[in-house]
């Protein structure tokens, strides 16, 4: 019994390591990029004061292309390391395939599509509510998005990161390593909660952290149902695609309080319905267990 407890306790650190590792990698690459810009400008700078020199350095360092390259380098490093750790430590060298994961493909696909769209609206109404209650959160969020180059004029590199590399990286870290480590030391529903908390905290700003936490709960439950990262990666990629590329064409509700409330309620109902569809389509759920753990 004591030996079993000791073995389980070794996984506690792995709950927090992915977040710590990702932050350290981001910081290290950002510092190296700054050093590169300083050296590059020193080699080519011909005239002007030290103040002008440093201004030019930081303008180049803070440019959208630079931020995109830093993000992509961070994602590539994290994906490679995260994949190796997840496969070797939590999957015994073998990754789960999609074969046999769904007993009703129609329910599974419909659930994924509805979940993606419903969570967009849950995010929109949640952000609007929090922004009204805490205006400083919105300002902090907008400044972060602007500094990251995530706006209506996003570069192709940032689109690549935001829609594909970012989701792959985050799914490996949170629905992969963090979730599986948490499952070793606690009941699965607490593990879903913990990985969602870590996912929200990783974004390091209040507004994005809250809706990332909510999204993380849904993605964690999908991972629990289907035991496959390809599923959560696909949903996360689709969610970011809709939010990044298609956000301007999403139909919005009216401006009245009643309409806002009804649309918020409808988005939550749709998200819940998508979870029911996904659960009913999961091969891991036996007949008669449809509502047993919801």
pLDDT in tens, 259-283: 888 889 999 999 999 999 999 999 9
Confidence at residue 38, expressed as pLDDT on a 0 to 100 scale: 75
Q: Identify the burial level of 202 via C-beta atoms within 10 angstroms of its C-beta, where 0-12 means exposed, 13-18 middle and 19 or more buried.
A: buried
3-class secondary-structure state, position 102? strand
Confidence at residue 204, expressed as pLDDT on a 0 to 100 scale: 84
Q: Please indicate, yes or no, whether the overall pTM of this predicted structure exceeds 0.85.
A: yes
Confidence at residue 63, expressed as pLDDT on a 0 to 100 scale: 64
Q: Identify the burial level of 171 via C-beta atoms within 10 angstroms of its C-beta, where 0-12 means exposed, 13-18 middle and 19 or more buried.
A: buried
Which residues have C-beta within 8 Å of that of residue 253, sequence separation ≥ 6? 259, 260, 262, 263
What average pLDDT is seen over the chain?
86
Confidence at residue 8, expressed as pLDDT on a 0 to 100 scale: 77
* Residues of the chain below pLDDT 50: 1, 3, 288, 290-292, 294
Confidence at residue 4, expressed as pLDDT on a 0 to 100 scale: 56
Q: Where do runs of H (alpha helix) occur along 45-104?
A: 50-61, 64-85
Side-chain-facing half-sphere of 263: CA atoms under 13 Å: 19
């Amino acid at each position: 019994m004591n030996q079993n407890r000791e073995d389980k306790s070794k996984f506690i650190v792995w709950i927090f390591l992915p977040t710590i590792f990702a932050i350290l990698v981001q910081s290290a690459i950002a510092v190296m990029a700054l050093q590169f810009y300083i050296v590059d400008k020193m080699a080519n700078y011909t005239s002007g004061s030290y103040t002008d020199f440093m201004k030019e350095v930081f303008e180049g360092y803070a440019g959208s292309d630079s931020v995109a390259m830093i993000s992509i380098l961070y994602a590539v490093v994290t994906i490679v390391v995260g994949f190796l750790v997840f496969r070797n430590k939590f999957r015994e060298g073998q990754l789960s395939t999609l074969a046999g994961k769904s007993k009703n493909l129609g329910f599974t696909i419909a659930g994924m599509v509805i979940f993606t769209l419903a969570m967009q609206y849950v995010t929109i109404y949640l952000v609007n509510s929090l922004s009204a209650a805490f205006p400083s959160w919105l300002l902090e969020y907008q400044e972060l998005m602007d500094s990251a180059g995530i706006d209506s004029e996003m570069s192709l590199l940032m689109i690549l990161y935001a829609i594909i590399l970012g989701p792959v990286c985050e799914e490996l870290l949170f629905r992969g390593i963090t979730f599986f480590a948490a499952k070793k030391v606690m009941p699965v529903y607490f593990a879903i909660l913990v990985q969602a908390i870590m996912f929200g905290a990783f974004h390091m700003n209040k507004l994005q952290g809250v809706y990332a936490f909510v999204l993380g709960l849904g993605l964690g439950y999908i991972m629990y149902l289907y035991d496959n990262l390809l599923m959560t990666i696909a949903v996360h990629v689709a969610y970011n695609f809709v939010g990044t590329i298609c956000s301007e064409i999403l139909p919005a509700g009216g401006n009245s309080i009643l309409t806002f409330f009804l649309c918020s309620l409808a988005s939550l109902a749709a998200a819940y319905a998508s979870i029911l569809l996904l659960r009913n389509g999961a091969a891991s759920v036996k007949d008669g267990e449809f509502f047993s753990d919801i």
